[in-house]
Amino acid sequence: MELPSRWVFLLFLLLSSTKAFESEVDKEEFQEELLLKPLPDRKVLAHFHFETRAPPCNSNGLHHHHLFPKSISQMVEKFRVKEMELSFTQGRWNYERWGGFDTMSSNNAKPPGVELWAVFDVPKEQVDASWKNLTHTLSGIFCASINFLESSSMYSAPDWSFRQASGSLRYGMLPREAVCTENLTPWLKLLPCRDKAGISSLMDRPSIYTSLYYSQRLHLTSIASDLEGLNLGIVLEQTLTVVLHPSSQRTGLTHFSQSYLQPSWSLSSIFGRKVNGRCVLAKSSKVYLQLERGLVSQLKKSENYGADYIASEGYDGEANFELSVNPDRVIKEEHSRNGISSSLLYEFSVDKYSNSKPFDLGLTWKFPVIWSCQQAPLHASRFLMGSGNERGAIAILLKSTDLNDSSLVANSAMDGCELRVNIFQVVPWYIRVYYHSLQLFVDDQLKAVGAFVEKIHVMPSKDKISPGMMEMVLKLPCGVKSAALTLDFDKGFLHIDEYPPDANQGFDIPSAAIGFPDFHTSMLFPSNESERKSPMLSKFQESSPVLLYTEVLLVPLTTPDFSMPYNVITITCTVFALYFGSLLNVLRQRVGEKERLLKSKAAAKTGRLSDLLSRLSAKLRGRSQEPMQSASESSPLINSKLALKVLLMAALAVAWQYYFG
């Protein structure tokens, strides 16, 4: 017992000493950065990264803020959020073309709609209550319907596949949430300069919302510096990732066909705005231009052919492209795996620019370059099988990306040629998945599931209470070409008031997350004092497992006619009333008396018309006209007929009730 406490004390000492070393300026600070990256398919990626830090201070200081947004800090304090991420995304990240094996895709490629996960620092039984309150608060802050995640059928508690967090993690997705400026404005409100100055002033709403991919993310981590968890330090990381399509500018070069040449762009051409100086409140304000590994190696190759290759570090690609602004620094990635080439980062500091001299970075290509992105080990897609409104099947297809990356070989060699894949999937309760029907096809051959599954955790859905959740670790041979998982499901029926307004559109199944725990992406930069300060680069240096999201599935469910309850009520009631009324009438009918009355009438009136009528009615009754027949003889006949009719009526009523009731 003594040893651990001493350890804790030591740890605490260590922590406090590092704290003292680090926090020379114990103040809130804000940093803004922008990363631009040309993509192989003639697009440009812009990644805004803002970081606001609140240093740990005593509980009283939590109520007084200088740069850090008050609402976020109050929220963290009130709900004891340890870590949280909220993303609003429009469009789908194209893993094949924009890369699936870099920090950008595994951290910033998000499923469409809203994704929220949070880890709480509260006892386990209070986690759900905190989550519910948090969703309401966030929906208030971000003007979004995040509060729909409140109901327990909308969120799940993954154990290990999504993130390691012993029971205090909650995860929810709203695939159909529309994302627009009304969500961006409150997000910008959390920045001290909003979009009034600095890099964020580039966010021209029409140009960023017409982008191919838009993802706005908020990630916060709170660090309790003392053991009681009273002194909270919060790191708020806000990123906005957009993929833009630059309209190609005409260049003077005509000897290459324009179609091969990458489009040239500048900040003003893709955003329609320029940066008029930094946000004065930011500690640093930097713009980076990243050339990824594939591109750099292609450039080097072409330059080798051109024989004017400059060996020194500098503007490696100067011959191929031109930058309108000279970079302040060039950072070369240290490739750890002795690969062929490493990516390049050009750093531009916005500090020098002002209103009179705005910063407008432009990139002009001179020669055509074709390169490709690094792909994730497997490409994942998910689709629906089957037809009709009753049942179907979900299939997840993992396809090899023909990766001849040395890293994979190296990795797999270490693991004894095994490729581990994490699958995390949440399915709403009205899709009743039969987990026993799980089938695994490896290289198009049906295989026993047990042979490939290393670990599986299934939480079957409970109707209207909790969604179904599946966590799974697959162990595939590294030479696998394709692997497919299928799961059968039945479609459930919803209660009439559980249908959304546009029920005929179908229901969304949120994206599944596919992770590759053996593959980590990180970029290593030469350890320099200045790099340590850049939050975006330090984020890139952190090793993060490769993660990708599949498509959202749209399942059509049987939708009722919503006026049905009233129709049913009216019809059954009318039938019942008819049945009841006729039964009552029959009960109190006096057949003998009626007959007598009829006869006396017939005797009294001998008009032609009445005679004809009586004859007709007699014919209808299927009886030859026997006017002079005695009543004693005819009455039993009538009685049996009547009884038959009543029986028929009753049978009809029962049939109605059976089919329509």
Could you tell me the smallest distance in angstroms from the CB atom of residue 66 to another protein? 5
- Please state the closest distance from residue 65 (CB atom) to another protein, in A: 4
Instruction: Quote the DSSP letter at residue 210.
Output: T
Q: How many residues line the site for another protein (CB under 8 A)?
A: 53
Closest CA to 141 of 218, 240, 67, 41: 218
The one-letter amino acid at 326? N
If one asks whether residue 566 binds another protein (CB under 8 A), the answer comes out as yes
- Note whether 597 binds another protein by CB under 8 A: no
Which C-beta is closer to another protein: that of 413 or that of 573?
A: 573
| Type of residue numbered 376 | A
Interface residue with another protein among 34, 39, 44, 75 (CB under 8 A) is 75
Ranges within 81-140 binding another protein (CB under 8 A): 137
280 binds another protein per the rule CB under 8 A: yes
Q: Cα(24)–Cα(4) distance, rounded to whole angstroms?
A: 30
Pairing of strands 29-38, 284-291: parallel
Within a 10 A sphere around the Cβ of 11, how many other Cβ atoms? 11
Lookup result for tokens 């990626």: 45
From 55, 158, 192, 428, residue interacting with another protein (rule: CB under 8 A): 192
Q: Does 77 bind another protein (CB under 8 A)?
A: yes
Decide: is 560 part of the binding site for another protein (CB under 8 A): no
Q: Is 308 in the site for another protein (CB under 8 A)?
A: no
Cβ proximity to another protein: between 596 and 619 the closer is 596
Compute φ and ψ for 354, nearest 5 degrees: -145, -175
Which SS3 state, helix, strand or coil, does residue 474 take?
strand
| Three-state secondary structure call for residue 87 | strand
User: Is 578 an interacting residue with respect to another protein (CB under 8 A)?
Assistant: yes
The answer to whether 633 and 595 are in contact (CB under 8 A) is no
Angle (CA) 391-392-395 rounded to 5° is 160
Q: Does 598 bind another protein (CB under 8 A)?
A: no
Q: Angle at CA 125, nearest 5°, toward 122 and 127?
A: 50
Smallest CA-to-CA distance from 91 within 218, 180, 224 is with 180
Q: Which of 342, 338, 397, 405 is nearest to 374 (CA)?
A: 405
Nearest by Cα to 95 from 138, 133, 51, 40: 40
Is residue 209 a contact point for another protein (CB under 8 A)? no
52 with 191: CB under 8 angstroms?
A: yes
Q: Between 13 and 591, whose beta carbon lies closer to another protein? A: 591
Min. distance of Cβ 635 from another protein in angstroms?
A: 6
588 binds another protein (CB under 8 A): yes
Site string for another protein, 14-53 (x = CB under 8 A): ----------------------------------------
Two tokens at 423?
A: 């699958």
For another protein, give the closer residue by CB, 38 or 69: 69
Beta-carbon contacts of 499 under 8 Å, excluding residues fewer than 6 positions away, are 559, 560, 562
Chosen residue from 36, 197, 426, 431 binding another protein by CB under 8 A: 197
Note whether 356 binds another protein by CB under 8 A. no
Extract the tokens encoding 479. Answer: 């030479």
DSSP letter string, 17-55: HHHHHH-SS-S-EEEEEEEEEE-TTS-EEEEEEEEEEEE
Q: Decide if residue 210 touches another protein (CB under 8 A).
A: no
357 near another protein, judged by CB under 8 A: no
Q: Does 651 bind another protein (CB under 8 A)?
A: no
Task: Please tell me whether residue 54 binds another protein under the rule CB under 8 A.
Answer: no
Beta-strand ranges (E) seen in 428-543 are 431-442, 445-447, 453-459, 468-477, 482-491, 507-509, 513-521
639 sits near another protein (criterion: CB under 8 A)? yes
656 binds another protein (CB under 8 A): no
Does position 196 interact with another protein (CB under 8 A)? The reply is yes
Cβ closest to another protein, residue 60 vs residue 445:
60
Q: Is 273 in the site for another protein (CB under 8 A)?
A: no
Stretch that binds another protein, among 189-197, 251-259, 261-269, 375-383 (CB under 8 A): 189-197
Minimum CB distance to another protein smaller for 558 or for 574? 574
Part of the chain binding another protein (CB under 8 A), chosen from 75-83, 288-296, 305-313, 522-530: 75-83
Binding mask 311-330 vs another protein (x if CB under 8 A, - otherwise)? --------------------
**Distance (Å, rounded) from C-alpha 290 to C-alpha 238?**
20
Q: Are 394 and 507 in contact (CB under 8 A)?
A: no
66 binds another protein (CB under 8 A): yes
In angstroms, what is the C-alpha Rg of the chain? Answer: 37
- 63 part of the interface to another protein, by CB under 8 A: yes
Q: Does 621 bind another protein (CB under 8 A)?
A: no
The count of C-alpha atoms lying within 13 angstroms of the C-alpha of 432, restricted to the half-sphere facing its C-beta, is: 12
Please report, as ranges, the residues that interact with another protein according to CB under 8 A: 60-61, 63-67, 70-71, 74-75, 77-78, 137, 189, 192-194, 196-197, 280-281, 566, 569-570, 573-574, 576-578, 580-581, 583-593, 596, 631, 635-636, 639-640, 642-643, 646-647
